[in-house]
Chains A and B, each alone.
Chain A
Amino acid sequence: EAEVAQSPRYKITEKSQAVAFWCDPISGHATLYWYRQILGQGPELLVQFQDESVVDDSQLPKDRFSAERLKGVDSTLKIQPAELGDSAMYLCASTDRRGDTQYFGPGTRLTVL
């Protein structure tokens, strides 16, 4: 069964360092989402791509976060510099052109020390 892939699964870093997360959506899925989930909360959208274009990045802290999906397939989310408050689970999801169900990857659990 097709799945959304994410790496790494876990990342520990010190504040002020740069970190990057990778996501490979289900093959053929045009829409890709990055969510952030703080402990004890539901996920919140950071950025949404349609193919290689950003559809919504209104909640992305652009002073330190960046996201790209250059060829409209896999995507990278970067934080530079990381802050203590960035400790969270970062989830990637994708959906097909019908836009029905979002399927999530296993997530990257980030700890900033």
Chain B
Amino acid sequence: AQKITQTQPGMFVQEKEAVTLDCTYDTSDQSYGLFWYKQPSSGEMIFLIYQGSYDEQNATEGRYSLNFQKARKSANLVISASQLGDSAMYFCAMREGGLGSQGNLIFGKGTKLSVKP
């Protein structure tokens, strides 16, 4: 069965510094997708970044990058130059199947990031 593990319930980071949020996953599929979402206190889930299991390069989107280590089954999110607005819950999620599979997402329990001024 699929599983997503986020071992950090809460993290603190100083404004303008980089932070890494951990995510490990478990699947028997060869084809899958990994996602990170941000959830502010308002409740909306905001898509940040996607990594496909066959992608050879780590995904990057602006200040977000995904450190994908397939052999270790880890997909850590790196946020560079943290901003106060980055304070939120962050969820790692996995979808079994490649592009077009339209499967549902399996989410971890999330990490609460607090950015200190």
Contact = CB atoms under 8 A, between A and B. Distances in A.
A89 B35 CA distance: 20
Contacts of B43: 89, 91, 106-107, 109
Contacts, number: 59
A100 B45 CA distance: 16
B113 to A, nearest CB: 15
Contacts of B45: 43, 91, 93, 104, 107
Place the interface of chain B in its size category: 20 to 34
Place the interface of chain A in its size category: 20 to 34
A85 interface: no
Nearest to B35: A101
Interface of A: 31, 33, 40-45, 48, 50, 55-56, 89, 91, 93, 95, 97-107, 109
Interface of B: 4, 35, 37, 42-47, 50, 91, 93, 99-105, 107-110
